[in-house]
Structure 1
Amino acid sequence: MKPIKNKKQLEIKLQQIPNHPNPKVELEQYSTPAYIAADILWNAYSLGDILDKNVLDLGCGCGVFTIGSLMLGAGSAIGIDIDGESVDVAESFSEKFKLDNCRFIAGDVFQLVDDFNVDTIFQNPPFGSQKRATRGIDLDFIEKAISFGPDVIYSFHMASTEEFLIDYFSRNNLKITHIFRYEFKIPKIYEFHSKESKGVNVIVIRAENTCK
């Protein structure tokens, strides 16, 4: 595969990766739009968090951050998701793009043994906002991410929780260096959705592990 030269080229590539094939409401499966994923990945690349790094994508869905990291020169990338159908899609597209050092695991993030060699983690966890979802699971994802001992974590959250998260990250020895802000377009994919699409304000926090 030819090297990616700019953010727009990366976005075009990521647009080829489909959304969750069978989204499950209890998992709050909303696929990250390609333009947001490309922006986060390009910023991470510019900050030295991808090239030749070992990347872990927690709750990877169809693998947009796993695949995008390898497109930008990651040394290796592992994507993990509890939904086997989405992992199958991710694997098929990693093969389509002929990416090396790529691995996907269908399994529960919280059941994993913490023996990965990880530099950078990306995660877009469930926010716990749906009635059938687990409350506070995004915080559980942060704790799990910390357990892998990465240098840097990129984590998606509802913008309304920003003040709480700033304090939470600090109490967990994570130094926030950047906060990226987006309007996350959620399409009508579940039966309770009344609009064709809805914009939700989200933040992506870049935090450095001060315990390293």
Structure 2
Amino acid sequence: MKKITRKKHLEMRLQNIPSHPKPKVNLEQYTTPSIIASDLIWNAFSFGDIDSKNVFDLGCGTGIFTIASALMGANFAVGVDIDDDSINLAREVSDKLNVDNLRFIQSDIADFDPGCNVNTIFQNPPFGSQRKVERGQDLKFIEKAIELKPDVLYSFHMASTEEFLLGYYGDNNLEVTHIFRYNFPIPKIYDFHSKENQDIEVIVLRARL
């Protein structure tokens, strides 16, 4: 597999990952745009959080962060998602892209046991942008990440919850080192959506345990 040396090349590879064909509203399934995923992965690589590391992607969806981590030299990358449709598509895509050193597991994150040392976690949980989604799902992901004890965590959240989250992270001995800010596009994919596209302000907190 040819080594990727430019962020733009990574973004171009990630553009081949399709959107979820049957998104489920209760899981708040939205595809992370390749421009956002490539930017975050490129920064994580620059911090030394991917190359030769054991990387886990919780709530991986169709696998964009798992595949990107493998492309950027992870020792191995594991994507975990409760939705079997997402996992099946992620496996198909990784095979087509000829990406190895990764695997996908269908599991509720609450029941997931990696069985090895965890260096880096990426997670893009349901962050509560929709009224029909159960609130607090992102906190459950943080609790699982604390249990797994990675060296570093990257976690997506609504930007409007930043002040609360910084307090929550601090109370749980998570040292926030960086905050990445993105406008996350939400397309019209559910019946209750009234706009063709809407940008949601999100943050990604990089934290050390």
Q: Does 1:2 align with 2:8?
A: no
**Does the CA-based 8 Å contact 1:159-1:202 persist in structure 2?**
yes
Aligned to 1:200: 200
For 2:33 and 2:78, how far apart are their aligned partners in 1?
20
Residue 190 (structure 2) aligns with: 190
Tell me the TM-score normalized by structure 1.
0.96
Change (3 A) 1:200 1:146: same
Q: Alpha-carbon deviation of 1:98?
A: 1.9
Determine the structure 2 residue equivalent to 1:136: 136
Q: Which residue does the alignment assign to 1:164?
A: 164
Q: Does 1:102 align with 2:102?
A: yes
CA deviations 1:67-90 (Å, max 9, x no partner) are: 000100000000000111111111
Match of 1:91 in 2: 91
* C-alpha distance in structure 2 between counterparts of 1:129 and 1:73, whole Å: 33
Counting matched residue pairs gives 209
Alpha-carbon distance in 1 for matches of 2:152, 2:120: 5
In 2, distance between residues paired with 1:24 and 1:116? 31
Q: If the length of structure 2 is used for normalisation, what is the TM-score?
A: 0.97
Q: Which runs of 5+ in 1 are unaligned?
A: none
Paired with 2:113 and 2:42, the residues of 1 have a C-alpha distance of 30
CA distance in 2, matches of 1:25, 1:15: 23
CA shift for structure 1 position 93:
1.4
How far off is 1:114 after superposition? 5.4
Which residue is equivalent to 1:122?
A: 122
1-structure distance, mates of 2:67, 2:84: 17
Deviations, residues 147-205 of structure 1 (Å, cap 9, x unaligned): 11100000000000000111111111110000000100110000011111001000000
- Is residue 119–residue 151 contact of structure 1 (8 Å, CA) maintained in 2? yes
Query: Is contact 2:110-2:144 (8 Å) kept?
Result: yes
Match of 2:176 in 1: 176
Residue 83 of structure 1 aligns to which amino acid in structure 2?
A: D
- Asked if the contact 2:128–2:158 (Cα under 8 Å) also holds between the matched residues in 1, the reply is no
Q: What is the alpha-carbon distance in structure 1 between the residues aligned to residue 116 and residue 122 of structure 2? A: 14
SS in 1 for 2:87: helix
Query: In the superposition, relative to structure 1, how do residues 119 and 98 fare at CA in structure 2: closer, same or farther (>3 Å)?
Result: same
Q: 1:127 is paired with a residue of what secondary structure? A: coil
Inter-partner Cα distance in structure 2 for 1:75 and 1:113:
18
Looking at structure 1, the residues matched to 150 and 16 of structure 2 have their Cα atoms a distance apart, in angstroms, of 29
Moved over 4 A (4+): none
SS in 2 for 1:31: coil
| Superposition deviation, residue 115 in structure 1 | 2.9
SS in 2 for 1:12: helix
What is the alpha-carbon distance in structure 2 between the residues aligned to residue 75 and residue 172 of structure 1?
Answer: 28
The residue that corresponds to 1:45 in the other structure is 45
Deviation string for 1:6-28 (max 9, x for gaps)?
11000000010001110000000
For structure 1, which segment, 99-108 or 126-135, has the greater mean C-alpha deviation from structure 2 after superposition?
A: 126-135
Q: How far did residue 131 of structure 1 move?
A: 3.3
